[in-house]
Amino acid sequence: MSAEGRRWLAYAQENRRAATVCLGSDLFNPCLQNAQQAVEKALKALHLAYGLPLKKTHSIGELRRDLLRAQVDPGLSEDAADLLDTIYLPSKYPLGSVLPHFEPDAEMARRCVAIADQVLALTAKRFSQA
């Protein structure tokens, strides 16, 4: 597997650790942003691992669909991808809460971190088998 893919995975793992720190400090918007970024970077690592072109997109759903078309299971449901896609833009800019019509809380943050854990575990396993 490519060295570049391993770098993307390392950055994804760093975002995952940052999400945990934010969750433990009740910083839910940055927790959600880091969880989203962890998944995005892990999916990009999988793209590189399977020889797919690296897309310049922040859409988890789009990255997921590309992997599925290439018959690579990203370990991510469509609902989870949709949830993470709602997080990207609002978590970066002061548009209110990350989630429209919903104030993020510990439960939602834990849910997004769990999604990141699932995707990162699968991605790390694929890299360790190479």
pLDDT category of residue 103 using cuts at 50, 70 and 90: confident
The CATH number of 3-128, from 1.25.40.10, 2.40.110.20, 1.10.300.10, 1.20.120.330, is 1.20.120.330
> Is it the case that residue 100 has pLDDT exceeding 60?
no
Distances (CA, A) of 28 to 24, 32, 54, 112: 9, 6, 29, 10
Buried (b) or exposed (e) across 103-115, using 16+ Cβ within 10 A? ebeeebbebbbeb
pLDDT digits (tens, 9 = 90+) for 69-93: 999 999 999 999 999 998 876 555 5
**pLDDT at position 84:** 94
pLDDT digits (tens, 9 = 90+) for 20-67: 999 999 999 899 999 999 999 999 999 999 999 998 999 999 999 999
Q: Of 65, 39, 34, 61, give the one whose Cα is nearest residue 52.
A: 65
**pLDDT at position 89:** 60
Distances (CA, A) of 5 to 27, 31, 49, 67: 29, 24, 6, 14
Q: Mean per-residue pLDDT for 92-121?
A: 80
Decide which of 89 and 103 is more confident: 103
**pLDDT at position 33:** 93
Residue 102 DSSP SS3: strand
Question: Phi and psi of 102, rounded to 5°?
Answer: -155, 125
Tokens for 30?
């940055």
State the DSSP string of 26-65. T-HHHHHHHHHHHHHHHHHHHHHHTTPPPP----HHHHHH
pLDDT category of residue 104 using cuts at 50, 70 and 90: confident
